[in-house]
Amino acid sequence: MRIGVLALQGDFALHAEALRRVGVEAVEVRKPAELEAVDGLIIPGGESTTLLKLMEAWGFVPALEKFHAQGRPIFGTCAGLIVLAREVLNPPQFSLGLIDVTVERNAYGRQRESFETEGEAALGREPVPIKMVFIRAPRIRRVGPAVTPLAGHRGECVMAREGSVLAAAFHPELTDDPAVHRYFAGMVEAAHPC
């Protein structure tokens, strides 16, 4: 099993390291054709407007739509959540619409208001504790009927799944907690059993 990490911008190297810690081969993806060689993909945090411009310039949008249509799992964190969302606010911008959520950009505050917290996530039969780092994070304002909330913070959904798409407002790669990456690896394994 190989999981790609979109390596155009953002903290892709830390996601690759987190995948390796849970025993998964990580591949940095810089061109759309490289998606053919991976079973799942992580779209990392960074700056969503810049990330979308790079994705459009390199022709990633149709390639990612095809990747999703094939049932290959995608996980977006922070800016990756914005890229995957159905609707984006503050300001409105293009997104792939692969998970039925509405997100508001930078809704948890500016860089100086970044924070780390702990919570619980429904990543198995029983909820598990997870660490969450929020940096200029988007806020999930609406969750569609087919979307399953998996983790919350102060009564709000901060991680959700719809089919083969997982999205989080926080940065699991910035902690030593492997739970979220292990869960995504399980999604990929279930979608593409060896």
pLDDT given at position 48: 86
23-to-73, 83, 143, 172, 181 alpha-carbon distances in Å: 17, 27, 32, 16, 10
Is 171 tagged catalytic?
A: yes
Ramachandran quadrant class, 66 (left: phi over 0; alpha: psi -120 to 50; beta: rest):
alpha
Is 192 tagged catalytic?
A: no
Task: Identify the active-site residue in 68, 162, 173, 181.
Answer: 173
The stretch 86-98 carries a mean pLDDT of: 94
8 Å CB contact between 68 and 61: no
pLDDT given at position 179: 95
Is 113 tagged catalytic?
A: no
Task: Identify the active-site residue in 15, 68, 153, 171.
Answer: 171
pLDDT given at position 9: 86
Fold classification of 2-191 is Rossmann fold (3.40.50)
pLDDT tens, position by position, 44-72: 988 888 888 899 999 999 999 999 999 99
Q: For residue 156, what is the enclosing H or E element?
A: strand 156-162
Task: Identify the active-site residue in 78, 153, 162, 181.
Answer: 78
Q: Which pTM value belongs to this model?
A: 0.95
Neighbours of 33 (CB within 10 A): 10
pLDDT tens, position by position, 21-48: 999 999 999 999 999 999 999 999 888 8
String of DSSP letters for 52-109: HHHHHHHTHHHHHHHHHHTT--EEEETHHHHHHEEEEESS-------EEEEEETTTT-
Domain boundaries, the chain: 2-191
pLDDT tens, position by position, 106-146: 887 776 778 999 999 999 989 999 999 999 899 999 999 99
Q: Is the pLDDT reported for residue 194 higher than 60?
A: no
